[in-house]
Amino acid sequence: MRRVPLLTTFAASLLICTITVAAQEKGYWPATSNTARSITGDISLTDQKLVINFVGFTIAHIRALEKPEVAALFDADSNEPGAGSIYRLNIPASRKFLHKNSLCGGEDTQWMVTYLAGRTLRIAFFSGQKAPLLTLEAIPNSTDLCGTFTYTR
């Protein structure tokens, strides 16, 4: 009898944490990494859009990241507080940003993976139709990883 309330409490807490982290991703993010400053510049995130260089792109939240995925992609300590998400989007290869750079070279950008820890947002963009495989073995060999970007506020 006691397990049901405990399980319900745990599930509710997990849902609240996920919603809180997703809400914290939203807003204006100044570029801090060299890659972000040279390609995207500052960005903005809303529930349904990613804005790069004053151009909005529709995003769809797919799922939350698991701690091992965060560690594999962003080389982050899986014990530190923070969370991330995978989003589906479509940014054409022909779309140029700062300094006439594109996100994925000659391929359309199909996936965005975010990781928020404290006041730092890290984003990885991927091409390819299938969702990226985020494991320690797959990331170094990925031909779909376009780049990682860091933003801080």
pLDDT at 61 over 80: yes
pLDDT at 30 over 70: yes
Domain assignment of residue 129, given as a range: 3-152
pLDDT for residue 21 = 44
Both structure tokens of 119: 């006041």
Q: How many CA atoms lie within 13 A of 29 on its CB side?
A: 30
CA–CA dist 31, 35 (Å, integer): 9
Q: Read off the pLDDT of residues 66-103 as tens digits, 9 standing for 90 and up.
A: 999 999 999 877 677 888 999 999 999 999 999 899 99
Cα angle 125-131-135, degrees, rounded to a multiple of 5: 85
Enter the pTM of the model.
Answer: 0.82
| Tally of domains within the chain | 1
pLDDT for residue 83 = 87
pLDDT for residue 144 = 96
Nearest residue to 146 (alpha-carbon basis) of 125, 121, 122: 125
